[in-house]
Amino acid sequence: MRARTTSGGHRRIPVAEVRKRLVTLRSAAERQRLTAWLDGLLSGESSEVSRLLRLARERGGGWASVADEVAQVVVELGELWQAGDCSVFEEHMATEALRRATAACASEIPLHRPVRRALLTTAPGQRHTLGLSLAELVLAENGWRSIWIGEGPPVEEIPAMVAGLAPELCIVAGSFDASPQALRALQRILVRAVSGCGGILVLAGQGRWSPMKSGYRCRTFLELDDALAELAP
């Protein structure tokens, strides 16, 4: 691997070199699948991404397994951007294509009665909503209709939003870079608001939420799928 020697005599290896090496350690099938995903996303064509999503669903398992697979591809896409192998506009095109494709696939899933409603939003100030787009697939497969909020509203508007919509489920995503103090303050507001309307709270993403006494803490889509199975009527 390419490296440089520091003034102290140590070898320093760029992160991009490590990532390239990790790719070579994958099996041929894994590399082929990852390449197909990245090519599809970087094409910016939502129809191509929809095709890849359906193929992944046909390989077996449910949409939760597909969502976890795609989440790893999104991480790879971010690493390409950090390494300078992907431009900002390409990354934006890819994420928008994925967002549109997941919405299209979710709309194809028939909902059977009784249909329950799940509110999807991020913590205030969190702009990344791809995880919620993937969650919508898992919810639809389990018979839930999504109320899409996306980027989180201001904290002071959350109680009125939850009370007005009165969802049976409220999924709020927070990322690891979000302030733990802000997430914990938000969590206290959410617990009061969601319990006040008789709903169930799901704290999602890699954010540093506080331990929960009720509701669910889901870091993966398979964990979300398990939670929805427990809530099945």
| Residues 162 and 85 both lie in one domain | no
The answer to whether residue 191 is domain-embedded is yes
Structure tokens, 62: 């449910």
Tell me the per-residue pLDDT of 21-68, one tens digit each, with 9 for 90 and over: 655 655 666 778 888 999 999 999 999 999 999 999 998 789 999 999
Tell me the per-residue pLDDT of 155-175, one tens digit each, with 9 for 90 and over: 999 999 999 999 999 999 999
Nearest-angstrom CA–CA distance, 117 and 194: 13
Q: Which of 61, 86, 107 is the last residue of a domain?
A: 107
CB 165 within 8 Å of CB 119: yes
Given this model, what pLDDT does residue 35 score?
A: 85
| Residues 103 and 128 both lie in one domain | no
| Residues 167 and 196 both lie in one domain | yes
CB 53 within 8 Å of CB 66: yes
Domain of 94, in residue numbers: 11-107
For the chain, the domain total comes to: 2
Tell me the per-residue pLDDT of 74-88, one tens digit each, with 9 for 90 and over: 988 888 887 788 889
Residue that has been written with the tokens 């994925």 in this structure: 98
The answer to whether residue 2 is domain-embedded is no
| Residues 221 and 133 both lie in one domain | yes
Nearest partner of 42 among 99, 100, 97, judged by Cα: 97
Q: What is the CATH number of the domain that holds 42?
A: 1.10.1240
Tell me the per-residue pLDDT of 192-233, one tens digit each, with 9 for 90 and over: 999 999 999 999 999 999 998 889 999 999 999 999 999 987
Structure tokens, 27: 């099996």
Q: What is the CATH number of the domain that holds 173?
A: 3.40.50.280
CB 190 within 8 Å of CB 222: no
Nearest partner of 84 among 131, 147, 158, 15, judged by Cα: 15
